[in-house]
Amino acid sequence: MVTSDLLHKKIGVWGYGISGRSLVKFLLARNVELVVFDQRELNQDDQDFLMSNSIVYDYQEPLEFLNACDYVIPSPGIDLRKYAALASRFIAELDLFQHFFTHPIIAITGTLGKTTITTLLVQALRLSGKEVVVGGNIGVGLFDLIGQPCDIAVLEVSSFQLELCTTFAPDVALWTNFYPNHLDRHGSMERYREAKEKIFIHQKNRCLIGGMDWVFTGDYTIPEHGFKENWKLVIALLEQQGLSASEIERIVSVLGNQEGTLEHRLEKVSVVNGVEFINDSKATVPEASLAAVNLYNKKNMILLLGGLSKGVDRKYLVSQLLDVKKIICFGQESDKLLALCDEFGVNSQACATLDKAFFYACEVAQEGDTVLLSPSGSSFDLYKNYLERGEHFKKLVRAKK
């Protein structure tokens, strides 16, 4: 990775979303010659900002953009496989971020639980008296954190963010778990694992938490709500940070008594006519949906499955749902999901959209039932992201009240 001579090179920023905007603002302050590329046409405000700062903006042809730049920092969502011949020009944003960030870093990755654990950990560390900044895959651009006063940074990092890394070495790496995901992007489980492993392979003094290098030693009361595995990882990290057993017990007790859950993750939306509606839109892999289903009485559950499978076979998931009262499949892969349900004899129905699936669920739901949106797939067939999908579901519930 090159950092010392960026000032004398033409730097391309590929993708102008949260990550790209954060990076552009950071590099602007260092008088770097910038080119921004995004295959969607930017809105007028973004174009005006780039123009006012004399930044070239292009959205026509990726290869021309790449050849025009000395180095390119791609946003994590960009699939670079077809540009492997130009790999020497790519710089991972995590590598660049750590070069300029001067505080300790805790990085969290894994297939499931990243956002929940990141949120709990940040709250826990703040309760311990630490000043914490948080960013990465959780919706805050990394480079917005540079210069903020803090004791430590907690970063949620995805396999997409990690796959290009050649130097990134967080002080503490937390790897929650590993299940099939993003196989449409990585191509195989082996490549997916290789990307995840980038979270720790460059550490000089390895500190990896996740049941492999560190488990907590104290006897703590695990809160009733949420997944025990998440609480255990948070506690292990608090021990690693040097907190006493009594302090950890106090912090976990405070967090455990908080009302509610994370938005879009087992979020209790409302009870209408005796039917409970749960928004679990963040469940984008089968293991997340199965974990959610197992928290409830399957015989009184109406489960909304949908989204894109991302190359992951959802057959095992459906095979574990034989006792569910009704599965309603929706979206682009609804017919595939329905075929799986038919194969295992699961009571099911297919709908083209979430609206139709919701209204059908309301028709068949009875008092005491739970309608659970836990799609097990990504949202990109119908929505911009899982947030938009979850908000739509909540809007439908509120309209029914």
What CATH number is attached to the domain comprising 55?
3.40.50.720
Domain C-terminal end among 91, 106, 126: 91
Q: Say whether both 72 and 138 belong to one domain.
A: no
Question: Radius of gyration over alpha carbons of the chain, in Å?
Answer: 22
Domain assignment present for residue 261? The answer is no
Domain assignment present for residue 195? The answer is yes
Residue 260: its pLDDT value, please?
A: 57
Q: Say whether both 250 and 231 belong to one domain.
A: yes
Q: Say whether both 112 and 245 belong to one domain.
A: yes
pLDDT of residue 213 exceeding 80: no
34, β-bridge pairs = 11
Structural domain including 385 reads: 267-400
- In percent, the amount of the chain with pLDDT more than 70 equals 97
Q: Say whether both 134 and 171 belong to one domain.
A: yes
Least confident of 22-31, 71-80, 258-267, 274-283: 258-267
Residue 140: its pLDDT value, please?
A: 86
Q: Say whether both 283 and 144 belong to one domain.
A: no
CATH number, domain with residue 272: 3.90.190.20
Q: Say whether both 110 and 134 belong to one domain.
A: yes
Residue whose C-alpha is closest to residue 78's, from 17, 34, 134: 17
Q: Say whether both 272 and 328 belong to one domain.
A: yes
Q: Say whether both 179 and 301 belong to one domain.
A: no
Which alpha helices (H) appear in 128-188, and where do they start and end? 159-162, 183-186
Q: Say whether both 238 and 101 belong to one domain.
A: yes
Domain assignment present for residue 320? The answer is yes
Could you tell me the two tokens for 189?
A: 């489980």
Sheet bearing 10-14, strands edge to edge: 56-58, 33-37, 10-14, 71-74
Domain C-terminal end among 68, 91, 114: 91
Sheet bearing 348-351, strands edge to edge: 267-272, 275-279, 370-373, 301-306, 326-330, 348-351
Residue 211: its pLDDT value, please?
A: 76
CATH number, domain with residue 252: 3.40.1190.10
In 10 A of CB 325, how many CB atoms? 18
Domain assignment present for residue 394? The answer is yes
Q: How far apart are CA 95 and CA 269, in angstroms?
A: 39
- In percent, the amount of the chain with pLDDT more than 90 equals 80
Q: How far apart are CA 387 and CA 393, in angstroms?
A: 10
Least confident of 122-126, 180-184, 302-306, 346-350: 180-184
Domain count, the chain: 3
pLDDT bin (cut points 50, 70, 90) of residue 360 is: very high
Q: How far apart are CA 265 and CA 134, in angstroms?
A: 19
Q: Say whether both 133 and 112 belong to one domain.
A: yes
Q: Say whether both 216 and 332 belong to one domain.
A: no
